[in-house]
Chain A
């Protein structure tokens, strides 16, 4: 895990793990003529730009990315915990299958690591977020998916994490919806940019709150197809 220099920035943090589906199906073209993965990459660029424009979020949000599928055809940590000030977008490549259950388990582990690290450094934090974006059904073998669902449900019930599941272009929302107390949202991949702008604004709102506060998030109208 990358060491974040908390001494240079002792602000409270809002940790956010992005669990991103980069499986082969993300190579499908959208109505804009671009592939889903290209749209996702542009969305990540937009997230960076939005965070940069928000002084508070910039110093309080920390991000980590778990990739599902992609060139290694596995689920693993792609980006260690990184302060928004240090976050640099990078292009993802679509390939392989969708071991989403493993990705979720890794995401939850990352969150626990971050919380322990923050505690050890005396830095307060708001409830961590896990944003799950997928366009297909999980392809985990055995009970990995089922176990991951139970872990997610348990973690959210214990208020250890706030999970947002987002299905892209006809993903199985029922399956995705099982990982959170909130139903999965549907999004057209052409609206990834709007999604990440919303995410930045939401993280900004969360990062301004104090631990334990209830936060009103921006409306998801610009990008969602179904309501929360």
Chain B
């Protein structure tokens, strides 16, 4: 088992300690305290003076243990940001593919008169709206906590307490991830409609830019926090008290 670090004084402590023997600090984590990590990073980035006084670059700066974290008392490894992104891309692709298949099948049915049209409408709702809810809720709930995309990258979603997501939490999480961007796009994008509908090219351009920015903000904004929080939490993770980690235990 890897040693822990006192978040108060930076002392390295065996993992079986309840508190730091040096300062009495009770917050022990597998990563170094932030100020110590920063000073290490700074010293790694700073050129080191050679014996002759000339400065030499450091070829391989020390790798800091920023990935590990403690979830529910156990040591876990945080999911990387890029793997999370690619896993989401794959999941989105899979859902879109499934939706397309279902829609295509529905299209075949729609040729069967008025009943077929109504059925097709229902299938469209099912494929475009309900399928993503079903997919993400089904795969995120429980101890596995992995969609197909996340499995590919060895990731999973768990509660910050370490437990698996309940069906309700998994549903709320996917609800937020789908509804917040859609709602935001509708509101912000709507604000861009007026100038875009103008006959003036400059206003049309401005409207288009605002619409694109609105979409980007709504889609990526809630995820931006994973770059600024220690545990790489998106807004949805913060609300639902979840965390994305690697499936293998450190």
Chain A interfacial positions (CB closer than 8 Å to B): 2, 67, 70-72, 76-82, 86-88, 90-93
Contacts and interface: CB of A to CB of B under 8 A. Distances in A.
B191 interface: no
Interface stretch (B17-25, B57-65, B76-84, B142-150): B17-25
25 contacts: A2-B16, A70-B24, A71-B23, A71-B24, A72-B19, A72-B24, A78-B17, A78-B19, A79-B14, A79-B18, A80-B16, A80-B18, A81-B16, A82-B14, A82-B16, A86-B16, A87-B16, A88-B3, A88-B14, A88-B16, A90-B13, A90-B17, A92-B21, A93-B21, A93-B22
A80 B18 CA distance: 7
B18 A76 contact: yes
A81 B13 CA distance: 15
B114 interface: no
Contacts of A76: 18-19
A70 B18 contact: no
A90 B4 CA distance: 12
A88 B21 CA distance: 13
Q: Which 9 A-B pairs have the closest CB atoms?
A: A71-B24, A72-B24, A88-B14, A82-B16, A80-B16, A90-B21, A2-B16, A92-B21, A79-B16
Q: How large is the interface on B (under 10, 10 to 19, 20 to 34, 35 or more residues)?
A: 10 to 19
Contacts of A92: 21
A79 B24 contact: no
B139 to A, nearest CB: 29
Interface string B7-38: 00000011011111111100000000000000
B22 A71 contact: yes
A13 B13 CA distance: 25
A91 B16 contact: no
Nearest to A41: B21
Contacts of A67: 21
A86 B17 CA distance: 12
B190 to A, nearest CB: 55
Given A76-B18, A79-B18, A91-B21, 19 more contacts: A2-B16, A70-B21, A71-B20, A71-B21, A71-B22, A76-B19, A78-B17, A78-B18, A78-B19, A78-B21, A79-B16, A81-B16, A86-B1, A87-B16, A88-B3, A90-B17, A91-B22, A93-B21, A93-B22
Contacts of A91: 21-22
A78 B6 CA distance: 13
Contacts of A71: 20-24
A76 B22 CA distance: 14
Contacts of B21: 67, 70-71, 78, 90-93
Contacts of B19: 72, 76, 78
A76 B13 CA distance: 16
Contacts of B1: 86
A117 to B, nearest CB: 14
Contacts of A77: 18
B14 A90 contact: yes
Specify which of B13, B14, B16, B23 lies most central, judged by the most chain A CB atoms within 10 Å of its CB: B16
Max chain B C-beta neighbours (<10 A), residue from A67, A82, A88 = A88
Residue from the set B1, B14, B17, B21 with the largest chain A CB neighbour count within 10 Å: B21
A206 to B, nearest CB: 21
A92 B16 CA distance: 15
Interface in B187-210: none
Contacts of A81: 16
Nearest to A88: B14
Contacts of B14: 79, 82, 86-88, 90
Contacts of B18: 76-80
A80 B24 CA distance: 15
A217 B64 CA distance: 47
Candidate in B13, B19, B22, B23 with the most chain A CB atoms within 10 angstroms: B19
Contacts of A90: 13-14, 17, 21
